[in-house]
Protein backbone atom coordinates (compact mmCIF):
# COMPACT_ATOMS: atom_id res chain seq x y z
CA UNK A 1 0.00 0.00 0.00
CA UNK A 2 1.23 3.49 -0.80
CA UNK A 3 2.08 5.61 2.24
CA UNK A 4 -0.30 8.26 0.94
CA UNK A 5 -3.22 5.79 1.13
CA UNK A 6 -2.92 5.19 4.88
CA UNK A 7 -6.22 5.94 6.61
CA UNK A 8 -4.64 7.86 9.46
CA UNK A 9 -7.86 8.65 11.40
CA UNK A 10 -8.69 4.93 11.47
CA UNK A 11 -5.09 4.10 12.40
CA UNK A 12 -5.16 6.56 15.32
CA UNK A 13 -8.36 4.93 16.57
CA UNK A 14 -6.76 1.48 16.40
CA UNK A 15 -3.69 2.72 18.24
CA UNK A 16 -5.81 4.44 20.90
CA UNK A 17 -7.44 1.10 21.66
CA UNK A 18 -4.06 -0.65 21.91
CA UNK A 19 -1.99 1.97 23.77
CA UNK A 20 -1.25 1.34 27.44
CA UNK A 21 0.52 4.55 28.41
CA UNK A 22 -2.02 7.27 29.37
CA UNK A 23 -0.22 10.03 27.47
CA UNK A 24 -0.15 7.94 24.30
CA UNK A 25 -3.82 7.13 24.75
CA UNK A 26 -4.58 10.83 25.05
CA UNK A 27 -2.51 11.62 21.96
CA UNK A 28 -4.28 9.08 19.76
CA UNK A 29 -7.73 9.94 21.11
CA UNK A 30 -7.18 13.55 20.00
CA UNK A 31 -7.33 12.06 16.48
CA UNK A 32 -6.21 13.54 13.22
CA UNK A 33 -7.96 15.30 10.36
CA UNK A 34 -9.61 13.30 7.62
CA UNK A 35 -7.50 12.62 4.56
CA UNK A 36 -10.13 14.53 2.58
CA UNK A 37 -9.45 17.72 4.51
CA UNK A 38 -7.79 20.32 2.30
CA UNK A 39 -4.31 21.74 2.73
CA UNK A 40 -5.89 25.16 3.19
CA UNK A 41 -7.85 23.89 6.21
CA UNK A 42 -5.16 21.70 7.78
CA UNK A 43 -3.37 22.28 11.07
CA UNK A 44 0.36 21.51 10.83
CA UNK A 45 3.27 21.40 13.25
CA UNK A 46 6.88 21.45 12.05
CA UNK A 47 9.09 19.16 14.14
CA UNK A 48 12.87 18.87 14.28
CA UNK A 49 15.29 16.91 16.46
CA UNK A 50 18.98 17.20 17.12
CA UNK A 51 20.45 13.81 18.05
CA UNK A 52 23.59 12.03 19.19
CA UNK A 53 23.87 10.36 15.78
CA UNK A 54 21.83 9.04 12.86
CA UNK A 55 20.94 5.55 14.12
CA UNK A 56 17.50 5.74 15.74
CA UNK A 57 17.95 2.25 17.19
CA UNK A 58 20.85 3.35 19.37
CA UNK A 59 21.26 7.12 19.20
CA UNK A 60 19.27 9.57 21.30
CA UNK A 61 17.40 12.86 20.96
CA UNK A 62 19.15 15.83 22.59
CA UNK A 63 16.91 18.72 21.54
CA UNK A 64 13.40 19.19 20.17
CA UNK A 65 11.95 22.14 18.30
CA UNK A 66 8.39 22.52 17.05
CA UNK A 67 6.37 25.28 15.41
CA UNK A 68 2.60 25.09 14.75
CA UNK A 69 1.38 26.60 11.47
CA UNK A 70 -1.26 26.56 8.74
CA UNK A 71 -1.35 27.32 5.02
CA UNK A 72 -1.41 31.04 5.84
CA UNK A 73 0.13 31.56 9.28
CA UNK A 74 3.06 30.49 11.45
CA UNK A 75 2.35 30.63 15.18
CA UNK A 76 5.75 31.58 16.58
CA UNK A 77 4.35 32.33 20.04
CA UNK A 78 3.27 28.69 20.31
CA UNK A 79 6.70 27.37 19.28
CA UNK A 80 8.42 25.12 21.79
CA UNK A 81 12.00 24.04 22.37
CA UNK A 82 13.43 21.49 24.81
CA UNK A 83 16.90 20.24 25.63
CA UNK A 84 16.74 16.64 26.86
CA UNK A 85 19.35 14.42 28.43
CA UNK A 86 20.32 11.44 26.26
CA UNK A 87 20.86 7.97 27.72
CA UNK A 88 24.22 7.79 25.94
CA UNK A 89 27.15 10.19 25.82
CA UNK A 90 27.32 12.86 23.18
CA UNK A 91 29.75 11.97 20.41
CA UNK A 92 32.28 14.64 19.52
CA UNK A 93 31.07 14.53 15.90
CA UNK A 94 27.49 15.32 16.92
CA UNK A 95 28.66 18.18 19.16
CA UNK A 96 30.44 19.73 16.18
CA UNK A 97 27.21 19.52 14.16
CA UNK A 98 24.61 20.85 16.58
CA UNK A 99 26.80 22.65 19.13
CA UNK A 100 25.04 21.14 22.17
CA UNK A 101 27.62 20.25 24.80
CA UNK A 102 27.75 17.80 27.70
CA UNK A 103 27.36 20.61 30.24
CA UNK A 104 24.18 21.86 28.53
CA UNK A 105 22.39 18.52 28.77
CA UNK A 106 23.82 17.54 32.17
CA UNK A 107 20.89 19.09 34.03
CA UNK A 108 18.34 18.67 31.24
CA UNK A 109 15.33 16.41 31.86
CA UNK A 110 14.93 12.99 30.33
CA UNK A 111 12.64 12.83 27.30
CA UNK A 112 10.00 11.11 29.42
CA UNK A 113 9.68 14.30 31.51
CA UNK A 114 8.70 16.42 28.49
CA UNK A 115 6.56 13.77 26.83
CA UNK A 116 3.28 15.24 28.04
CA UNK A 117 3.80 18.78 26.63
CA UNK A 118 5.44 17.38 23.49
CA UNK A 119 2.51 15.10 22.66
CA UNK A 120 0.02 17.84 23.55
CA UNK A 121 1.77 20.21 21.10
CA UNK A 122 1.57 17.79 18.17
CA UNK A 123 -1.81 16.20 18.99
CA UNK A 124 -4.45 16.67 16.29
CA UNK A 125 -1.95 18.21 13.86
CA UNK A 126 -0.14 16.82 10.83
CA UNK A 127 3.56 16.72 11.67
CA UNK A 128 5.89 18.25 9.06
CA UNK A 129 9.55 17.24 8.85
CA UNK A 130 12.44 17.55 6.45
CA UNK A 131 13.34 13.87 5.88
CA UNK A 132 10.90 11.43 7.43
CA UNK A 133 13.58 8.87 8.42
CA UNK A 134 14.66 10.98 11.40
CA UNK A 135 11.86 12.35 13.58
CA UNK A 136 9.33 9.52 13.42
CA UNK A 137 11.72 6.60 14.02
CA UNK A 138 13.74 8.53 16.61
CA UNK A 139 10.66 9.37 18.66
CA UNK A 140 9.29 5.85 18.23
CA UNK A 141 12.49 4.17 19.40
CA UNK A 142 13.10 6.69 22.18
CA UNK A 143 9.67 5.97 23.65
CA UNK A 144 10.14 2.24 23.21
CA UNK A 145 13.26 2.43 25.40
CA UNK A 146 11.46 4.48 28.07
CA UNK A 147 7.84 3.36 28.26
CA UNK A 148 8.00 0.10 26.32
CA UNK A 149 5.64 1.50 23.69
CA UNK A 150 6.29 3.06 20.29
CA UNK A 151 4.43 5.84 18.51
CA UNK A 152 3.04 6.44 15.03
CA UNK A 153 1.79 9.69 13.55
CA UNK A 154 0.85 11.21 10.21
CA UNK A 155 3.47 13.40 8.62
CA UNK A 156 4.39 15.37 5.53
CA UNK A 157 8.00 15.34 4.34
CA UNK A 158 9.26 18.55 2.71
CA UNK A 159 12.28 16.68 1.34
CA UNK A 160 10.00 14.21 -0.45
CA UNK A 161 7.96 17.07 -1.90
CA UNK A 162 11.11 18.77 -3.16
CA UNK A 163 12.47 15.56 -4.65
CA UNK A 164 9.24 15.03 -6.59
CA UNK A 165 9.25 18.64 -7.81
CA UNK A 166 12.88 18.42 -8.98
CA UNK A 167 12.30 15.11 -10.71
CA UNK A 168 9.34 16.58 -12.56
CA UNK A 169 11.44 19.59 -13.61
CA UNK A 170 14.25 17.33 -14.85
CA UNK A 171 11.84 15.59 -17.24
CA UNK A 172 12.04 12.35 -19.18
CA UNK A 173 15.15 13.26 -21.16
CA UNK A 174 16.98 14.31 -18.03
CA UNK A 175 16.18 11.01 -16.40
CA UNK A 176 17.47 9.13 -19.46
CA UNK A 177 20.68 11.12 -19.35
CA UNK A 178 21.08 10.50 -15.64
CA UNK A 179 21.03 14.17 -14.71
CA UNK A 180 21.16 14.83 -10.97
CA UNK A 181 18.13 16.54 -9.48
CA UNK A 182 20.07 18.85 -7.16
CA UNK A 183 20.64 19.17 -3.43
CA UNK A 184 17.84 18.27 -1.02
CA UNK A 185 19.44 19.92 2.01
CA UNK A 186 17.00 22.11 3.90
CA UNK A 187 18.96 25.30 3.20
CA UNK A 188 19.25 24.54 -0.53
CA UNK A 189 15.56 23.70 -0.80
CA UNK A 190 14.68 27.00 0.86
CA UNK A 191 16.95 28.94 -1.51
CA UNK A 192 14.91 27.73 -4.51
CA UNK A 193 11.91 29.60 -3.10
CA UNK A 194 13.92 32.71 -2.21
CA UNK A 195 13.53 32.05 1.51
CA UNK A 196 16.20 33.68 3.71
CA UNK A 197 19.18 31.64 4.95
CA UNK A 198 19.09 30.53 8.57
CA UNK A 199 21.71 28.95 10.78
CA UNK A 200 21.44 25.16 10.60
CA UNK A 201 21.40 22.32 13.15
CA UNK A 202 19.37 24.14 15.77
CA UNK A 203 16.10 22.29 16.38
CA UNK A 204 14.01 25.43 16.90
CA UNK A 205 15.42 27.24 13.87
CA UNK A 206 15.18 24.17 11.66
CA UNK A 207 11.54 23.62 12.66
CA UNK A 208 10.74 27.20 11.67
CA UNK A 209 12.71 26.78 8.43
CA UNK A 210 10.75 23.61 7.64
CA UNK A 211 7.40 25.32 8.30
CA UNK A 212 8.30 28.18 5.96
CA UNK A 213 9.53 25.74 3.33
CA UNK A 214 6.28 23.79 3.31
CA UNK A 215 4.24 26.98 3.00
CA UNK A 216 6.33 27.95 -0.04
CA UNK A 217 6.15 24.48 -1.59
CA UNK A 218 2.39 24.32 -1.22
CA UNK A 219 1.93 27.67 -2.93
CA UNK A 220 4.24 26.75 -5.81
CA UNK A 221 3.10 23.18 -6.45
CA UNK A 222 -0.38 22.68 -4.97
CA UNK A 223 -3.76 24.30 -4.59
CA UNK A 224 -5.32 25.11 -1.24
CA UNK A 225 -8.12 22.63 -1.98
CA UNK A 226 -5.68 19.71 -2.50
CA UNK A 227 -6.50 16.96 -0.03
CA UNK A 228 -4.15 15.99 2.77
CA UNK A 229 -4.02 12.38 1.65
CA UNK A 230 -2.16 13.47 -1.46
CA UNK A 231 0.83 14.39 0.68
CA UNK A 232 0.85 12.70 4.05
CA UNK A 233 2.63 9.46 4.76
Average pLDDT score over the chain: 90
Q: Which of 111, 117, 145, 87 is nearest to 23 (CA)?
A: 117
Per the CB < 8 A criterion, the answer to whether 16 and 28 are in contact is yes
Helix or strand or coil: residue 226?
A: coil
Residue 216 CB burial class (10 angstroms; 0-12, 13-18, ≥19): middle
Region 205-220 average pLDDT: 98
pLDDT above 90: residue 119: yes
Predicted confidence at residue 89, as pLDDT, reads 60
Predicted confidence at residue 95, as pLDDT, reads 43
Q: 61-69 and 155-157: which strand pairing?
A: unpaired
pLDDT above 70: residue 181: yes
Question: Can you give the pTM of this predicted structure?
Answer: 0.91
Amino acid sequence: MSDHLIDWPARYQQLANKAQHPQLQQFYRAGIASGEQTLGEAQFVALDFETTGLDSAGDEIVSIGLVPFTWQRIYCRQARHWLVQPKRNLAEQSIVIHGITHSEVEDAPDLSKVLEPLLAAIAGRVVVVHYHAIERPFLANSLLRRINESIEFALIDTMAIERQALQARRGFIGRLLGEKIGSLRLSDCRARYNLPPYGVHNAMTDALATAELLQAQLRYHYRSDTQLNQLWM
